Amino acid sequence: MIRFFDLFISIIALIILSPFFLLIAIAIKLNSTGSVFFKQKRVGKNNIDFELYKFRSMRNDADKKGLLTVGMRDNRITSVGYFLRKFKLDELPQLINVLKGEMSIVGPRPEVRNYVSLYTAEQIRILKILPGITDYASIQFKNENDLLSKAHDPETFYIDVIMPEKIELNKKFIDQRTVWNYFKIIFLTVFGIFKKSDKT
């Protein structure tokens, strides 16, 4: 049933948003050099890597200077990228990943291999389902960049504090994976984006 909603939502959204995608692509190209899309290997269902799509919000090769984004004013983020990140618009191309069956609308956010390699045998069970565009962790840690910017060692703080809490929230979703929670998380995500934007 959830796969049906994934397909229905992603197809409808891609059709409706296609003109908006074009405008975003033009803005990205006018604002900085490089490709419109950012592609990165992430770990998906059954511990299999896949290529995740995003609108590029950072300067070329920014990921080589660190996997974490520290604060919304990270100097690697472009001016258009700041706007895209503020409203989570950079995540929209992942609807293509959903259409391809690599992701779900709702599910554990996919990590890079570097961090998945640190999972315990118990934690790695979150890879039994498709990763998602949003989840409980995305809602609870919507200010993750701000938290990291205040940490003395952002990567250590992410690995020791944030990542374990995210995994616990992901396990909660797996244990309560229903259509009701699927739509609840979508609603809370959209509500959270606009609520946050009102304060900035």
State yes or no: pLDDT of 199 exceeds 60. no
Query: CA dist 87 to 34, 180, 198, Å?
Result: 22, 24, 11
Mean pLDDT on 118-125? 95
Query: CA dist 66 to 14, 18, 51, 70, 154, Å?
Result: 31, 31, 18, 9, 10
The pLDDT score that the predictor gives to residue 76 is 85
Q: Kindly calculate the radius of gyration of the chain based on its CA atoms and give it in whole angstroms.
A: 16
The label of the residue with tokens 């049906």 reads 4
pLDDT in tens, 146-188: 888 889 998 999 999 999 999 999 999 999 999 999 999 999 9
Residue span of the structural domain in which 98 resides: 2-198
Token readout for 7 is 């397909």
pLDDT in tens, 42-95: 999 999 999 999 999 988 766 665 666 665 567 789 999 999 998 899 999 999
- Please tell me the total count of domains within the chain: 1
Q: What are phi and psi of 91, to 5 degrees?
A: -85, -15
Under 8 Å between Cβ of 88 and 114: no
Average pLDDT, the chain: 91
State yes or no: pLDDT of 195 exceeds 60. yes
